Amino acid sequence: MSRELPFIKIPAKKGEKVRKLLQEVQLLAKNYKIQAEGVTLLIPLQPDTKVEKIRALLEEDTIEMGTRLFESAIEGPRTLAEALDGVLSPREIGFLPRAYDLIGDIAVLEIPEELEVHSIHIGNAFRSVHSNFSTVLAKRGAITGATRVREYRLLAGVDKTRTVHTEYGCRIAVDLATAYFSPRLLEEHNRVSDQVDMGEVVVDMFTGVGPFALHIARKQNARVIAIDINPLAIELLHESMAMNKLVGTIEPVVADAHKYAPVNFDHDVDRVIMNHPSGAFEFIADACQSLREGGIMHYYDFGAGESPEDEIVSNVSRLVRAAGKSTPEILHVRRVRDSAPYEYQMVVDLVIS
């Protein structure tokens, strides 16, 4: 934990003497770390320490003082397991979640059934280890419905689901209760946005709160049409557009991509992003009709088994053929993230002809 405190700035060579003097008169904030700044030291003082007191103590007329944040010198527990040592049994410690989603200043934990009765303890312990997170939430049930939102319950800290998350300097307004967002897609947002050339027309068919659109428009003078059926997701995208310096343009659209794409695009789009892994397969014909000859599709699906790479390529190729187009080139295929035990979110980038 850090705290804003007054300090005195002194030459490092006088450090030990001054520290002892301050400690004797109980003006030293001894639970906070002394900071080095070049050949000087900043010694943290008790709140409300008066400059006159320091002057008298050091018998000097010119004293340099200020206020700043000082880090606590008291070492707290470093891991969740350490913080819960003695609260949970060694067997229960074994069930503690090892990975969390960190979204802005909100941490999201998945509490296993075996630890359900200890969930509030776990939330408080998490905050004692990671004091920079204001809220600790637990996932409640699975992601469901067209909008891909799940429920959460508060474990510790401030009761909220809204925050601002930053990915590679891109600021994204998020509300976990109303719109989909996963911090595990940051590499994918960055990878796809790196491929966009100047002047491109990009359709982000399932934009959610708009991370692909925002990354692209921050980097490139491109036009991104960002569609989502969830009006609350598009509201958050509007907020993010105001928080980032964009060189390209984003046109947020609340619509069903099935209805919007065929009416608004006719083989005149350079790139379509289809990040709706549980449902994108139903929109292949719409994407094919939108894309120009040689346009690029980024298609997402879930995959499992021995070779999910072969499976996604074969599935998307079949669906594109059924839509009357072909896939002359597969540019890239990869596992984006684990989505469940032995299941992955997959992506394939392909040229559509």
- Check residue 289 for interaction with ligand SAM (CB under 6 A): no
Spatial CB neighbours of 101, under 8 Å, sequence gap ≥ 6: 107, 108, 182, 183, 184
DSSP 221-275: --EEEEEES-HHHHHHHHHHHHHS--SSEEEEEES-HHHHHHHH-SS-EEEEEE-
Binding residues among 169-198 for ligand SAM as defined by CB under 6 A: 180-181, 185
CB of 74 to ligand SAM, least distance (A): 39
246 binds ligand SAM (CB under 6 A): no
Of the candidate residues 165, 215, 223, 276, the single one contacting ligand SAM (CB under 6 A): 276
Per rule CB under 6 A, is residue 217 in the interface with ligand SAM?
no
Of the residues 256, 268, 310, 338, which one makes contact with ligand SAM according to CB under 6 A: 256
Q: Give me the least distance between CB of 32 and ligand SAM, in Å please.
A: 40
133 sits near ligand SAM (criterion: CB under 6 A): no
DSSP 283: G
Task: In angstroms, give the least distance from the CB of 184 to ligand SAM.
Answer: 10
Beta-strand ranges (E) seen in 84-192 are 101-103, 106-109, 135-144, 149-157, 162-167, 170-175
Determine the residue type at 8: I
Does position 212 interact with ligand SAM (CB under 6 A)? The reply is: yes
d(CA 288, CA 271): 10
Q: Does 230 bind ligand SAM (CB under 6 A)?
A: yes
Closest to 287 in 3D by CA, of 258, 312, 315: 258
Type of residue numbered 235? E
Question: Taking CB under 6 A as the rule, does residue 219 contact ligand SAM?
Answer: no
**Binding of ligand SAM at residue 5 (CB under 6 A)?**
no
C-alpha distances out from residue 265 to 251, 256, 294, Å: 14, 14, 15
Exactly one of 148, 165, 223, 271 binds ligand SAM (CB under 6 A); which one? 148
Binding-site ranges for ligand SAM (CB under 6 A): 146-148, 180-181, 185, 206-208, 211-212, 227-230, 233, 256-258, 275-276, 279
